[in-house]
């Protein structure tokens, strides 16, 4: 099974980092968040990736072109222009990098890589968030639903501390830092899709989360896999620092490998 990852957006809310690199290449623990996402899929036996590049996509291409070198101990003999690799570790990955345009919308990017999909069920997600989702169970759930698409539904925690205050009350009687949120389920990405969904995408201007998903829901061809575990997008520098802190503490919930 293939996994398609969106990696072409501008990431404007993380401009401190994305002015010099695409958002999926922003590092958590010295590795791009894209690497963390791929490691999650790989832990469940999915090692064939299609990366939808766009903004500064050449940086992603250069990263994978030099991946083996980055992961190895080497000696450079300048006199003879030789490089000797002493030890190295390479992932069992097959990575296809496709330039899907700087300004293409999420649905358009998926349509642009359709020729690489074949006629098989595939995974699809965003290149800017991590989760401890069980991909194996997600795929199994999708197969049982017999629908064209399955998305992962998550309940994000509240971003700010919640306090209880009655009308004209000035003394706080209850405080919870980062409460569970309002209980609403939202789209957490980590889709499993049938190739027929490509037919619902018109062109580069199509936003995947609008017309295609709305049509799938209307057709009763969209299922929801409820994920109760860890899920965290990296939208802001605050999010990035939070993920970095979890990784450095050795308590990164998404590290399932």
Asked whether the predicted pLDDT for residue 14 surpasses 80, the reply is no
Give the pLDDT of residue 74: 83
Asked whether the predicted pLDDT for residue 102 surpasses 50, the reply is yes
Token pair, residue 124, equals 């699809």
pTM, to two decimals: 0.86
Lowest model confidence (mean pLDDT) among 17-26, 177-186, 196-205, 226-235: 177-186
Give the pLDDT of residue 227: 94
% of the chain residues with pLDDT over 70: 86
pLDDT confidence of 163, banded at 50, 70, 90?
very low
Asked whether the predicted pLDDT for residue 255 surpasses 60, the reply is yes
d(CA 33, CA 28) in angstroms, rounded, equals 6
Give the pLDDT of residue 185: 85
- What's the pLDDT tens digit per position in 31-73? 999 999 999 999 999 999 999 999 999 999 999 988 877 777 8
Mean pLDDT of the chain: 87
**What is the sign, positive or negative, of the torsion defined by CA atoms of 75, 76, 77, 80?**
positive
Give the pLDDT of residue 96: 97
- What's the pLDDT tens digit per position in 170-222? 444 455 555 565 567 888 999 999 999 999 999 999 999 999 999 999 888 99
Using the CB atoms, write b or e for 83-109: b if 16+ within 10 Å.
Answer: eeeeeeeeeeeebebbebbeebbbbbb
Give the pLDDT of residue 197: 96
Which parts of the chain are beta strand (E)? 2-7, 27-28, 31-32, 48-53, 73-77, 82-87, 94-99, 122-126, 129-131, 149-154, 162-163, 175-176, 186-187, 191-193, 222-226, 231-233
């Amino acid at each position: 099974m293939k996994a398609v990852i969106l990696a072409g957006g501008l990431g404007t809310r993380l401009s401190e980092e994305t002015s010099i690199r695409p958002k999926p290449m922003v590092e958590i623990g010295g590795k791009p968040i894209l690497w963390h996402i791929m490691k999650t899929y790989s832990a469940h036996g999915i090692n064939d990736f299609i990366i939808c590049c766009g903004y500064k996509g050449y940086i992603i291409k250069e990263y994978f072109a030099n991946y083996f070198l980055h992961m190895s101990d080497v000696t450079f003999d300048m006199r003879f222009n030789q490089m000797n690799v002493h030890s190295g570790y390479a992932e069992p990955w097959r990575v296809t990098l496709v330039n899907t345009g700087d300004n293409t919308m999420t649905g358009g990017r998926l349509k642009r890589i359709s020729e690489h999909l074949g006629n098989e069920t595939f995974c699809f997600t965003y290149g800017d968030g991590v989760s401890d989702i069980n991909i194996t169970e997600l795929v199994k759930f999708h197969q049982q639903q017999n629908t064209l698409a399955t998305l992962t539904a998550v309940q994000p925690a509240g971003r700010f501390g919640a306090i209880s205050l009655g009308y004209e009350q000035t003394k706080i009687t209850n405080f919870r830092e980062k409460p569970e949120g309002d209980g609403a389920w939202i789209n957490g990405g980590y889709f499993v899709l049938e190739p027929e969904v490509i037919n619902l995408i018109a062109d580069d201007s199509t936003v995947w989360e609008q017309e295609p998903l709305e049509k799938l829901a209307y057709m009763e061809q969209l299922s929801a896999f409820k994920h109760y575990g860890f899920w965290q997008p990296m939208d802001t520098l605050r999010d990035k620092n939070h993920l970095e802190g979890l990784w450095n503490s050795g308590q990164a919930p998404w590290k399932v490998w």
